[in-house]
Structure 1
Amino acid sequence: MTLPDSAAHPRAPALAVTGILSRRSFAIRRSTALLGLTLLGLTTAWSGATTWYILRKDDLAARLINRETSRQYAYEDRIAALRADIDRLASRALLDQDGVEARVGEIAMRQAELESKQALVNAVTETLKASGIGVTQAGKTASGPRLIKPEAATRASSVSSFAPIGPTRPTPAPDMPVLRGAEDRNAGPWQSGEVPEPVSPAQRVAEALEQLDEAIGQTGSSQLGTLRNIDRSLGETQKTLRAALAETGLDTDRLAASTTIAKAVGGPFVPIKIDPAAGPFEATLHSLQPRIAAVSRLRELALQLPLRRPLQGEIDMSSNYGYRVDPFTRGPAMHTGMDLRAETGTPVRATAAGKVVTAEYSGGYGNMVEIEHPGGISTRYAHMSAILVSAGQNVSAGALVGRVGSTGRSTGPHLHYETRIDGDTLDPIRFLRAGDKLAGQL
């Protein structure tokens, strides 16, 4: 029987154990080395990755920083640009507001000028009305459109304008902006299609000022038209007065210069300076003044002349002025007046205002009244049955002075009517014809 090696050699077991341990030790050292190498590789890779990550992160951070810096600069530039736009818009708004205020001031000045002109037009019409001078329908003063007062216009512009309230800050937007088309939503039935763009406040202010300017222009044109109509009407009145007064055969210019001024008037003399070169309104008003004065003098003269009829109704003339056959002597004679046939007791009225200088029985005149009028003109009313005035009495035109009769050298009831100037007799029919032409104007 063969013994094992361990039994054959007393140190064999120890050697075997040592070999086994050596092999295991080698195997352990080999795995340990591999593990270490692996760990070393991993550590190296981790270190490299970490280093790369750190370096990469720094680069990304630098890029992020650069990008954020660029954005910051861009935002700052944008903010600066917006501030510049705001300043520019604020400056433009200020300029627009200044323009609106200047426009409103100009319109206010024009309105004040318009009111001054209207006062002159009213003064002219009141003067004509007080003088009793009639004008045609076209010559009536037309009242202008109601104008916005300057303060109201300024207030409207400050509220509606987009101009800033302060010197550098623009007006903030309203809290509740108006929706597009909301203003016209209730104005009419619903319609399809695009809604029109809303009108800006600045445009509304501009349109309002434009309408106001147009209204002022129309009122100015109306005032000028009124003056021109008055001028034309006065021209026609002057022509009518001259034609009527020419029937009397008197020197109307001399008589008009000597006419008396209406009573109960006066006051300090304050002349009105009108520059005809200032415009058509001033030129028309300047040329209107002498015409008004001329018509007033002619009308005053017509009021003082005996142009009315001494008897009301149709005239029944039985004998005219001039040479005739005397009813008593049957010979040629001068008839110094005109005889108007009428019933006894018919009212006899003064043909013009004046002062009674005679009221008595006077020979062939019978009961006679003589009235003295301005300009050396006098009238006589003879053969009356009754005298109803007394000497020294002032009478108005149309006043009752007596009644028709047949006193004195008379063949029947009638009125002997005379007109005289400076004692010389004139044909009364001339005055009556002039009065007929001016019927309704005196």
Structure 2
Amino acid sequence: MFERMSYRINHILEPAFPEQRLFLRSEDGTRFIRLSPLTQFLGWTGSAGFVAWAIIATAVLLMDSIGSGSIREQAQREQQLYEERLQVLSAERDARATEALAAQGRFNLALAQISEMQSELLASEDRRKELETGIGVIQTTLRRTMAERDNARASLEDMLAAAREEAQGPSIAAGEEASDMLTFMTAALERTAGERDRMAQEALDAEELAREMIFEGRLRDERNDQIFQQLEDAVSVSLEPLDAMFRASGIPVDTILDSIRAGYSGQGGPLTPLVLSTMGGEPDADTMRANQILSEMDRISLYSVAAQKMPFANPVKSAVRFTSGFGMRWGRLHAGSDFAGPVGTPIYATADGVVVHAGWSSGYGRLIKIQHEFGIETRFAHLSAIRVQKGQRVSRGERIGDMGNSGRSTGPHLHYEVRIDGEAVNPMIYIKAANNVF
């Protein structure tokens, strides 16, 4: 049956592929191979299929090469844009750091001026009280002297009247006695008048000094107000971005500050309060204003300490590509952010903490876990090298590993996670918040 079917096929193909004979000559003789129409058809079909496959494969490779070139060019453009963005952010961070240092210097200078002015105010207050006491004594003495003068004048008039009455029955001895008394009383009255004039002049001088001190006090108050206004503006400029950064962290700001304050036990470091003396009296407006500024500066100092303990930093400082963010992906939660770059790119700790894991973990590959304050944990996955050990304490900005492609990874990149009490949060919240401050 097979032979009959082969014969029919050959008969059908014979007009297009007539039977051919291939002669092979050797020393022993001449042989030939008969090529039937079916054999020729199969050979031609195979050759045509091979040629078609070669053309299609060449076209596919050419298109893939063109596509790869476009992807590489796009990746280079994205990398260039990312590097430019990093340079801009770095310049902004340096400018903000310079402004913060300048504001800190202005604050320290103004604080010294406040202390000096406070001392001057206290000294002027003491002088004012002494002057008030002196004026009171002068006024009392003046009133007493004037009363004595009036009494002496009345006594003199009485004595003159008595002398005139006695003069009607004159005697030489009585006249001489009256004359001596009159001379004595006149001299006493002149001394009293001189003392009165001197005391009156001292009172006028004291009043003039009091007016000058009041004028100086007003000038000092105006200067104090200007200095306080500059301090309040500088503190506000420094405090507002810090408040916004810590509010974005997702942890109550009061909880953070209370924890940092408790860690210092209220002694030493930036948390030591500065108290201005009020000489035992009620604090005045300037003292209350200064204490408010000091309270806000204490808050800034607490923020500075807390910022080192929370992951307000970028784990990669080199030029890398942001390839995947936090959120649902393919029906599953992608619990971190991915940064792609060359193998061996340095990876840095984003906050002070203790290494709780440094080794291989299924899926993560080479993994580092760092425990921070406030229940925060950071994870660095798919590393090519680990440069820390479990239990080691690390500081923010310290190199802890190298970027790699270990574990379930499709290419060299860093998978970076931030977790609060075990629950994953978006790491970009912290990175973007820090970009506005550092």
Structure with bigger gyration radius:
1
The TM-score, its normalising length taken from structure 2, stands at 0.49
More helix by share: 2
